Amino acid sequence: MPDTPAAPALPLDRPALQSAALRALELARSSGASDAEAECSASVGQSVTVRLGEVETVEYNRDKALAVTVYFGKRRGNASTSDLSADSIRRTVEAACAIARHTAPDDAAGLPDPPRLYRGDAPDLDLYHPWGLGVEAAIALARQTEDAARAVDRRITNSEGATVSSWDADFVLANSLGFVGGFPSSRASIGCGVLASEGEAMQRDYWYSAERDPARLEAAVAVGRRAGERAVRRLGARRVATAEVPVLFEANVAGSLIGHFVSAASGSSLYRKSSFLVDCAGQPVFSPRVILEELPHLPGAMASCWFDGEGVATRARRVVDAGVLTGYFLSTYSARKLGLETTGNAGGSHNLVLRPGGEDFEGLVRAMGRGLVVTEMMGQGVNPVTGDYSRGAVGFWVEGGEIRYPVEEVTIAGNLKDIYRGIVAVGRDVLVRGSRSTGSILVERMTVAGE
């Protein structure tokens, strides 16, 4: 990465964030609230996009916010503001209190049970690495990325652009139970999408790299080259006849299967009875080959934290053990609705890691023999209540354990219950995308609907 200047300062420093949050709690208590919570945050970010060598967009944000939640017994109200003046904080707390006084009581409402809160000083999880990349340097890096993509093959005739982004933030969360905590974090990314043409046929693809620490990003040239190669390899795509065959989800898209599971196993879906995983705790949901762990304390990872969005301490755990569902993803509220205990997942899951098997991607292709490799999916055809699954897909057809030709305009369909139980193998070609880490996933059988 090129040498960079110092990162721009956040709109508010840590003492100012804490002061605003604690002031909101004081005002809430003086207004008669039995409990209160306040989160104050500040962020600064920059995003530059270059298309066909020309600067298309330069975006810069510098934000601050305060969110206040108050409780009058079991009545709850919340309000937020981006103006952190003393008068604005007072009016925000007043608004939250007014809402709470006119809200129906809810037995599940309230702050977490005190023993669940994280206590002590949180050790550094290596989440803050300000890039400090100036606009001109970001433009140069984006051009380098796009140039590398366009240089892959003469058939790359157009570009969706290359984008270089950085984001730094800090926050303080405090509540009336005495919890005060927060930490700074950063995120950097490089991405590129291009189009390849041959005759009247046209295909597109992309690639990106995202990290907390910009020093760990894939090189700009590598990101661009990968995007170009992926676009070119899709030329000559065709449809295939409808069949029931094995389907191999490339690591770049395999995380979506885990995402559907997280949604179905989340408390809000469960207590509303809008999940196909209702009452499935302790039962086999996946293939016995599947081990899925939640590891919230991984240094430098995208979803690492010592406490969740309510201040509840997070912990490492095995969510799926040899196919058996051993735990849900619960906040304090959803846990109370279900008569369970919070799992420290207010705000989402933390670093889900699907344990890889011994085969690489090529080994999984050989193992499937005949079927479809999926490299990209379209549409949102997933029914969270029944688990019915139907999405548009593109990828490659496999015969005799070898990729033969690219495929487009097909739909892959099944039911997530059968898909999860039908997982034959997880590859060791592990890719981290956001909060999920997984290799390619081979499913024993799905319907591929084509001609």
pLDDT tens by residue, 206-257: 999 999 999 999 999 999 999 999 999 999 999 999 999 999 999 999 999 9
Could you give the number of structural domains in the chain? Answer: 2
Specify whether 228 is located in the same domain as 371.
Answer: no
- From the list 380, 446, 431, 437, the residue with the least C-alpha distance to 248 is 446
| Under 8 Å between Cβ of 151 and 57 | no
Same domain assignment for residues 247 and 185? no
The CATH number given to whatever domain includes residue 139 is 3.30.2290.10
**Considering the domain boundaries, does residue 319 fall inside one?**
no
The tokens describing 289, both together, are 């080959």
Asked whether residue 160 is domain-assigned, the answer is yes
pTM above 0.75, yes or no: yes
Contacts with 261 (C-beta within 8 Å, 6 or more apart), sequence order: 277, 285, 292, 416, 420
What residues make up the domain containing 100?
Answer: 14-232
State what percent of residues in the chain have pLDDT above 90: 94
**Residue 121 pLDDT:** 80
Q: Residue 261 corresponds to which tokens in the numbers above?
A: 């599971």
Using CA atoms, how far residue 437 sits from 214, 251, 355, in Å, is 19, 9, 9
- For residue 429, give the H/E element and its range: none
Task: Give yes or no: residues 94 and 215 share one domain.
Answer: yes
- Same domain for 162 and 35: yes
Which positions ≥6 away from 70 have C-beta within 8 Å? 28, 31, 33, 35, 36, 37, 76, 77, 78, 93, 96, 97, 100
DSSP state of 234: T
pLDDT of residue 296: 97
Closest CA to 40 of 75, 7, 77, 13: 13
Q: What is the average per-residue pLDDT within 401-421?
A: 96
> Which of 251, 211, 205 minimizes the C-alpha distance to 224?
205
In a domain, 53, yes or no: yes
Q: Is 6 inside a domain boundary?
A: no
Residue type, 120: G
| Statement to judge: residues 100 and 204 lie in one domain | yes
Whether 142 is in a domain gets the answer yes
Assess whether pLDDT exceeds 80 at residue 4: no
251 in the same domain as 115: no
Contact 12, 84 (CB under 8 A): yes
- How confident is residue 369, by pLDDT bands cut at 50, 70 and 90? very high
Q: Does residue 331 form part of some domain? A: no
Same domain for 111 and 221, yes or no, is yes
Summary mean pLDDT of the chain: 95
The phi and psi torsions of 46 (rounded to 5 degrees) equal: -145, 140
How does pLDDT run across 337-359, given as a tens digit for each residue? 999 999 999 999 999 999 999 99
Q: Is the residue at 402 inside a domain?
A: yes
DSSP secondary structure, 130-146, as one string: -----HHHHHHHHHHHH
In sign, the C-alpha dihedral spanning 212, 218, 219, 220 is: negative
| Residue 91 is assigned to a structural domain of this protein | yes
Cβ atoms of 403 and 397 closer than 8 Å = yes
Same-domain check for residues 174 and 249: no
Instruction: Judge whether 302 and 187 are in contact, CB under 8 Å.
Output: yes
Residue indicated by tokens 């065959």: 245
Q: Are residues 78 and 169 in the same domain?
A: yes
Rounded to whole angstroms, the Cα distance separating 359 from 362 reads 8
User: Between the CA of residue 282 and those of 123, 131, 172, 324, what are the distances in Å?
Assistant: 33, 44, 37, 6
Residues 247 and 225 in one domain: no
DSSP 385: T
- Report the share of the chain in percent with pLDDT over 70: 98
What would the pLDDT profile of 55-111 be if each residue is shown by its tens digit?
A: 999 999 999 999 999 999 999 999 999 999 999 999 999 999 999 999 999 999 999
Residue 5: the pLDDT is: 56
Q: Are 389 and 413 in contact (CB under 8 A)?
A: yes
Q: Looking at the structure, do residues 79 and 120 belong to the same domain, yes or no?
A: yes
Confidence of residue 130 (pLDDT cuts 50, 70, 90): very high
Q: Are residues 83 and 174 in the same domain?
A: yes
Listed residues 232, 267, 285: the one ending a domain: 232
List the beta bridge partners of residue 165.
47, 189
Please report how the helices 14-30 and 86-101 are oriented relative to each other, as an axis angle in degrees rounded to 10.
40
Q: Is 300 left (phi over 0), alpha (psi -120 to 50) or beta?
A: left
pLDDT in tens, 174-217: 999 999 999 999 999 999 999 999 988 999 999 999 999 999 99
268 pLDDT tier (thresholds 50, 70, 90) = very high
**CA distance linking residue 353 with residue 437, whole number of Å:** 5
What is the spatial distance between Cα 398 and Cα 400, in angstroms, rounded to a whole number? Answer: 7
